[in-house]
Structure 1
């Protein structure tokens, strides 16, 4: 536009100059020539602008067509994503998980707060004095988690805070194949921390919970958190197998265990990744709720493990029919029973009996090389203990 104005001024000046300086050269007035030239320039400029506008219009139309195609593609992708979301197996799992977690946290927090309120109202100040807890030399040698000097009330507060803020940590200890020492399974442990991120061991907080009448609530919550955290950890490591303990108090808590069975029914994709452990004392109890709970878990496809053996007078075929695939035995107990001049246990016969019912033996609490060397003479296949690794945070293990 600036160029057109400049040309117009120049042509107008030329026309006027011709009229005044050399009118005889041109038969028509100079301003007429200037106006004609201006009209020609103006028409030419309009034509150029019209072409540019048409070009811009066509480009805009092409962009709109491309945008329409992108919108259609996005709608297709959104529809596909919605279908996947509607059909995603984890939806019922997540809903079930949230329902159960809300119920557990409410139950647990109410009990802990009630206990803390009672203790605060009735306890003398001296009751809050810290207790002296001694560790054995073996504890000091094989663990990096010292027993902290806290009162029962302080431990209850740490436990309540860990639940409320979702800071219950999942720790894993390897179970290895022998003699190669290759990791094949992991046992799960729950840990809570104080405000300085120091680990409080189960040996310290579980007795406190028991004396406060909170054992069942703690066991239930820790079991659920263990399964919850295993499910998340498994996403990146689907081939790993985890052992989780189920206590006697959990099995006999009908309301909780019914909900837990429903929760596991929504998570049957974990059957290849989870093994549930039970103590021998629990298994020998003929309580209907206990036996029914074992049967229901087994029918879902989960493998079971027998732990904390105190006697080997067990019916292996019956255990196998109940879904048990593993037996754990303390290394010290096995040594006492299978070694010496007159051993009480024939290892070859035991292994043959286990093989016939497709069960595996895991020897736990192997703490040093001397103990391992002695046990390898018994031809054991799986071992667990601080010799092969202390429990570590699942985050660190990953």
Structure 2
């Protein structure tokens, strides 16, 4: 082609046309991207606004919840009803005493008590005016009522009825919204204000009949409120957000009702005004849009320049395209590629260059496609082998699965079965495959066959689960859980088969029966346990009521069994219980029912009982027990039982009544000596003792459950400095009327009832809590706890002590455990171990009742003791007895020689205090120093 015929214009035409199209597309996509970014921005703001609204609602609801908790606290202080007069209720003094602290801790504005007529009894703080109808409504409905009032400011008010069954008064608690506003601003970083009704008509703005509550909205956002209230209707912001521009800045503004909806007064509704400045985000969005447009234009220019250069290069290679096609048809790709490579290309062949490039790409693609075909063929062969391995693996899994797996046609013909199925059918594969599944079900499986046929015909869904039986070749029936599922087989004209799974449940049935027996029988003796005993006893009583005969209940408690259990161990104790169970079975009649209902307690139910028969069995039981002693660890033990008998219907009609009376008679027998029996007598004095024990059990358990145990603190003074250094913690039980019960009145009953350990742990917990409270108040006091000897045998007590002492707020050096010498002597090994463990925690040990025992001096060197408390019996008359004075001086000298601090108890006079100071006693304690009292 001659130079005069060069097509330079074509390149530029293509560039210009393509550039215009790209420019239009770029503009369209840029604008679309801007719109998407704007939409995302709006959605993000919606999410932020939603979270802010949720935060404001949550803070408001939490504030109401705090008012409810505080109201419950105050209401619990007043157990009696509110008086009809205007005199303060019983807890007025308590509120007066704690008002300032409560007001600070609970952020309260005011607290008001109303009587049952709705009249204000007493107020604390700055009370809101409560409408009389609202108070009457709370008293009438006996339900708490929440209110929100906005006058000069906004407040939350909770009105709570007083009284358990009927409202005997009401309690009003008021809180300001200021705390909610501050928490919201801290948590969200946004601004919030409260809108309340604007009663000043002259000052009301044009659109909104609301004004801002004082000290809510930040000063810089007040112009935003003034602007939107003057230019927009309030409906544009209620429960929705709106973007507002003001002086070159942008703000997200929304309004929401203050929750809960029913708490806002209809006469003066209030709203949250939420303002969030988004100027930076909006400007950032606009800046990104401009940068996107600019960078797109730059990129477009570069693309056009590259395109011009590429067009010039591509149009060179089309010259030899016709020479390359024959080679391409002969699969000579390398030769074809060599022909398409252009050398010394003249300018102006742009279109041909492009065609040449396309041809070269076609060559490469065809060559790559041929290579891919070869590669895919090889990969297909590998995958076929892999699938074959997977198929063999799945087949193997099915074969070894412990579940019957078989497939059958819709007509019931079995297609295949796994090895578990062969084992379950107890035959070979050939005797199963090709047979109808129905023949392996017994004739009793009519319901199973009916539902299976419905599944096959498509009437009843695509799955059937049923529990039935499988009949083996030998005629044996196995209980089996069946699952039949219709499965479509692809590639076979939608032919369906049924996949059948079967699980032999006969073994699990046996396990369930075994577990049921474990739940109703004692594993040690094999006798029925308390649960089954109660069921059997109820059935026997029902039969006795119907047929009119007597039933005797024997309540047996083994004498001194605890000695065997403690001395020989638990295994020996179980052996003794088994021996007793065997002997009792020999002594009872065939119609009697024997059960083990407790650790060493047995119960015998004797139907058709008469007085002669009852006495005969009771005497026989102890006679046969004494006749056969038991050998344990080389020692021989005689076992007897204290027996109490209650007879239906003479001594009761209900199981609980008969059990209680038999237990009462058993205690009578135990009091008479070992191996005795007693038949219940309603005139017995022991009934009074039993009732007393029941009374104390209820009293102590109620005190533990309802936290009625309180601590009194007796001061201990440093005799040298005159300063109170620590307090001894003493427990009291406070009754409903405020009366205090001393530990000497209830502790013995607690020990006999097994409740002493729970009381000890409760005291320990209260002492640690008081210690933490004193530390936070900056009061440097030590607290002493009396550690009773019964805790030495409690293997879990140290874990409880350690858990409390290791709290990060506890200073172990300020906790002192007092241990009496008698407690150490009674269990020296356990005391030695526990004292060492407590000392490792960093706590201090005090030796109580020092000087009473002969081993006192020995213990000073044996244990890590910090304080020794000289027994009060040597201190009370020290000003009148020279012997006591000499003895106390000697004890003090010995203690101080071992480096121990001395504490004198029971100091009751100035004269005794003077003598103790002369002797050199370190600390003193007693009524002269201070009475036990609550510690504020």
TM over 0.5: yes
Counterpart Cα distance in 1 of 2:893 and 2:886: 13
Residues 275 and 304, structure 1, Cα contact 8 Å, conserved in 2: yes
Counterpart Cα distance in 1 of 2:910 and 2:869: 19
**Residue in 1 aligned with 2:438?**
none
Residues 338 and 345, structure 1, Cα contact 8 Å, conserved in 2: no
**Residue in 2 aligned with 1:203?**
744
**Is 1:159 equivalent to 2:350 in the alignment?**
no
What do residues 315-369 of structure 1 show as CA deviations (whole Å, max 9, x unaligned)?
Answer: 6586366321101113332467897566694555544443343311111112233
**Of 657, 660, 663, which aligns to 1:121?**
660
**Of 49, 53, 64, which aligns to 2:277?**
64
**Of 367, 379, 386, which aligns to 2:908?**
367
Cα 1:313/1:121, change in 2 over 3 Å: closer
Residues 316 and 357, structure 1, Cα contact 8 Å, conserved in 2: no
Residue 382 of structure 1: how far off its partner (Å): 1.3
**Residue in 1 aligned with 2:782?**
241
**Residue in 1 aligned with 2:43?**
none
Counterpart Cα distance in 2 of 1:120 and 1:173: 45
Counterpart Cα distance in 2 of 1:338 and 1:370: 6
Q: How does 1:17-28 map to 2 (within 5 A)?
A: none
**Residue in 1 aligned with 2:932?**
391
**Of 754, 770, 791, which aligns to 1:250?**
791
Residue 209 of structure 1: how far off its partner (Å): 1.4
Counterpart Cα distance in 1 of 2:705 and 2:882: 56
Cα 1:193/1:304, change in 2 over 3 Å: same
Question: Does the residue aligned with 1:188 lie in a helix, a strand or coil?
Answer: strand
Residue 189 of structure 1: how far off its partner (Å): 1.2
Residues 298 and 322, structure 1, Cα contact 8 Å, conserved in 2: no
Question: Does the residue aligned with 1:269 lie in a helix, a strand or coil?
Answer: coil
**Of 304, 309, 325, which aligns to 2:850?**
309
Counterpart Cα distance in 2 of 1:387 and 1:344: 18
**Residue in 1 aligned with 2:821?**
280
Question: Does the residue aligned with 1:327 lie in a helix, a strand or coil?
Answer: strand
How many pairs align?
279
Q: How does 1:64-83 map to 2 (within 5 A)?
A: 64=277
Alignment RMSD: 4.0
What do residues 65-84 of structure 1 show as CA deviations (whole Å, max 9, x unaligned)?
Answer: 5999xxxxxxxxxxxxxxxx
What do residues 230-281 of structure 1 show as CA deviations (whole Å, max 9, x unaligned)?
Answer: 3344432451100011111112111233343344344683212211110011
Cα 1:66/1:268, change in 2 over 3 Å: same
Unaligned runs of 5+ in 2: 1-230, 232-243, 253-274, 282-655, 665-681
Residues 338 and 347, structure 1, Cα contact 8 Å, conserved in 2: no
Question: Does the residue aligned with 2:842 lie in a helix, a strand or coil?
Answer: coil
Counterpart Cα distance in 2 of 1:313 and 1:209: 30
**Residue in 1 aligned with 2:866?**
325
Counterpart Cα distance in 1 of 2:838 and 2:711: 22
Counterpart Cα distance in 1 of 2:877 and 2:658: 45
Residues 280 and 310, structure 1, Cα contact 8 Å, conserved in 2: no
Residue 288 of structure 1: how far off its partner (Å): 2.5
Question: Does the residue aligned with 1:301 lie in a helix, a strand or coil?
Answer: coil
Residue 160 of structure 1: how far off its partner (Å): 1.2
Question: Does the residue aligned with 1:392 lie in a helix, a strand or coil?
Answer: coil
**Is 1:231 equivalent to 2:772 in the alignment?**
yes
After alignment, is 375-384 or 187-196 more displaced? 375-384
TM-score (norm 1): 0.58
Residue 291 of structure 1: how far off its partner (Å): 1.1
What do residues 87-130 of structure 1 show as CA deviations (whole Å, max 9, x unaligned)?
Answer: xxxxxxxxxxxxxxxxxxxxxxxxxxxxxx89993466977879
Counterpart Cα distance in 1 of 2:762 and 2:800: 12
TM-score (norm 2): 0.27
Residue 187 of structure 1: how far off its partner (Å): 0.5
Q: How does 1:171-190 map to 2 (within 5 A)?
A: 171-178=712-719, 181-190=722-731
Counterpart Cα distance in 1 of 2:731 and 2:893: 35
What do residues 269-310 of structure 1 show as CA deviations (whole Å, max 9, x unaligned)?
Answer: 321221111001123345322211110110111110011235
After alignment, is 266-275 or 167-176 more displaced? 266-275
**Is 1:300 equivalent to 2:841 in the alignment?**
yes
Counterpart Cα distance in 2 of 1:374 and 1:391: 23
What do residues 13-63 of structure 1 show as CA deviations (whole Å, max 9, x unaligned)?
Answer: xxxxxxxxxxxxxxxxxxxxxxxxxxxxxxxxxxxx9xxx74266152794
Question: Does the residue aligned with 1:278 lie in a helix, a strand or coil?
Answer: strand
Counterpart Cα distance in 1 of 2:906 and 2:658: 37
Cα 1:155/1:350, change in 2 over 3 Å: same
Unaligned runs of 5+ in 1: 1-48, 69-116, 131-149
Cα 1:154/1:358, change in 2 over 3 Å: same
Counterpart Cα distance in 2 of 1:66 and 1:166: 58
Q: How does 1:28-39 map to 2 (within 5 A)?
A: none
Residues 896 and 902, structure 2, Cα contact 8 Å, conserved in 1: no
Cα 1:298/1:368, change in 2 over 3 Å: same
**Residue in 1 aligned with 2:120?**
none
Cα 1:311/1:338, change in 2 over 3 Å: farther
Residue 384 of structure 1: how far off its partner (Å): 0.8
Cα 1:345/1:59, change in 2 over 3 Å: same
Q: Which has the larger radius of gyration?
A: 2
Residues 238 and 273, structure 1, Cα contact 8 Å, conserved in 2: no
Cα 1:229/1:184, change in 2 over 3 Å: closer
Cα 1:342/1:355, change in 2 over 3 Å: closer
Residues 367 and 385, structure 1, Cα contact 8 Å, conserved in 2: yes
Residues 327 and 360, structure 1, Cα contact 8 Å, conserved in 2: yes
Residues 245 and 276, structure 1, Cα contact 8 Å, conserved in 2: yes
Counterpart Cα distance in 2 of 1:248 and 1:66: 74
RCO (CA 8 Å, sep 6+): is it higher in 1 or 2?
1
